[in-house]
Structure 1
């Protein structure tokens, strides 16, 4: 009964706000509602769709990555996971994990987990949180202090990094309070990073060498409600989708608020399903899916 009530509140809240907003483009399919696909978790994060038809997502406290498909439901994919948060694939299709245990790790063809990078200039990374891979194969990731104890913390800042085989680990930005979600624009000329403490999104111009400029605030999410600036994704038109206080926020490429969809707390997002037009949302003791009109970029 409790799970039914929670789901009903989620649906009513979502549909109420959607039906009362008037915007220039319809981003959510008409007459659809968010559908809970699996539940009863501790804190879900890092949803990631595989083109063969399944979703991976992490449960950080449970130290587990789960695999869900419409045919088989949810099952354990990886345990222990290094308390993984964000998940993505590299350009060869290998799973990459941002581990709160202090590393970026990769799964090889044999299913073995190996560390890609776990330190900056000999000091332990804090708790890598989210990550994205550029077309050149370099890995960009955020490193807040959510999952590291004061005793284990070795860095005095919470950075945004770039890792490549050629250049190793490069610190891009070190002035975030709590860097979290990270995503490129479709042309990879802009890098978006949000800050959970300030509930704003910053945008950086990506230089030819892969580093970034000083950046500026792209959008601020000021609202009542549970949640914070956390996971982000973009669609093929360059619209930016971010979790935030009160639910899901959608911005145009110029930073205009297109839509704010009220819901209970959501933590991260992933495009998937047919034509990448389904938005999967971790929320955080459950996972939902919602049909959209736009095609997303994983």
Structure 2
């Protein structure tokens, strides 16, 4: 496995002799992986194929839902219900325990969302998601909102609140271990921003946390996860960038395909990666933060 090293700390994360396994391939463009620790399975989207797949280590992959309205980012809420961002229908949905699908967010102030992209749930149940225009033809056709926002949805009150509106193309997002910081990357600017999270769930004190080097490889800042020690893992620009909690670049796991997203799975040390036509797995020395906390 090829690793670009910026700091010796990277060797604390990646064990000597670590292997990058390609688990499945021949997809169109895979995204949005999430691990269900109860079912011991991985869900992931193939956006152009408009399909959500389910994969287990023993049975391989099968179709979970098709069509999926060109789903992208996936996660689980506190009741382990599947949340999905959809490019096709331009909304966020929740799959209930009985299999029915509920709309979570479709409009902001009477205008259709652009194309919800990625999503994360805080331990209090609130849902944060990004809304770039990637799902729109030419990134503009049918666009009703004049901005690309980051939103918070409160399931208790059903309030959808716009938190930040000055991104170019907001994409992946992840909370720090203590949930006091929310990281959001901007694919259009190839950097990650950090925000302080207030007691009401608002975002303040936005600042650039780290910037990817465009000379390293193909891709853009995209999916993002955090480990239990606070390191941030960002897909894009040659592979998976690993960054310390202070913003220091530790290294890049070079990937053979343009890499879109990632998810912790198994016992928490398996990192599952969606990359163009395939998905992969690496076993690390550190544990990640699961989608359902607690």
RMSD: 1.3
Equivalent residues of 2:120, 2:174 under 8 A apart: yes
Tell me the alpha carbon deviations over residues 213-258 of structure 1, each in whole angstroms, 9 at most, x when there is no partner: 0400000001321111000000000000001211110011110111
> Match of 1:32?
18
- CA distance in structure 2 between the partners assigned to 1:223 and 1:152 by the alignment: 31
> Match of 2:82?
95
SS of the counterpart of 2:2? helix
Shift of 1:167: 6.0
> Match of 1:176?
167
Equivalent residues of 2:7, 2:250 under 8 A apart: no
* Partner of residue 71 from structure 2, selected from 84, 105, 112: 84
* Partner of residue 42 from structure 1, selected from 25, 28, 32: 28
Shift of 1:69: 0.9
Equivalent residues of 2:7, 2:249 under 8 A apart: no
Shift of 1:38: 0.7
> Match of 2:249?
257
* Partner of residue 130 from structure 2, selected from 142, 148, 161: 142
> Match of 1:211?
202
Q: After the TM superposition, which residues 57-72 of structure 1 pair with which residues of structure 2 at under 5 Å, given as runs?
A: 57-72=44-59
TM, length-normalised to structure 2: 0.93
Q: After the TM superposition, which residues 228-247 of structure 1 pair with which residues of structure 2 at under 5 Å, given as runs?
A: 228-247=220-239
Structure 2 gaps of 5+ residues are none
> Match of 1:4?
none
* Equivalent pairs, count: 282
- CA distance in structure 2 between the partners assigned to 1:218 and 1:148 by the alignment: 28
Judged with a 3 Å threshold, the aligned counterparts in structure 2 of structure 1 residues 170 and 21 are, in CA distance, closer, same or farther, namely closer
- CA distance in structure 2 between the partners assigned to 1:166 and 1:218 by the alignment: 32
- CA distance in structure 2 between the partners assigned to 1:42 and 1:181 by the alignment: 20
Structure 1 gaps of 5+ residues are 1-14
- CA distance in structure 2 between the partners assigned to 1:122 and 1:292 by the alignment: 45
* Partner of residue 211 from structure 2, selected from 201, 208, 220: 220
> Match of 1:190?
181
Equivalent residues of 2:271, 2:284 under 8 A apart: yes
Shift of 1:166: 2.2
Q: After the TM superposition, which residues 101-180 of structure 1 pair with which residues of structure 2 at under 5 Å, given as runs?
A: 101-149=89-137, 150-164=140-154, 165-166=156-157, 168-180=159-171
> Match of 1:269?
262
SS of the counterpart of 1:295? coil
Q: Which structure is higher in helix share?
A: 1
Of the two structures, which has the highest relative contact order with CA contacts closer than 8 Å and spacing of 6 or more?
Answer: 2
TM, length-normalised to structure 1: 0.92
SS of the counterpart of 1:26? helix
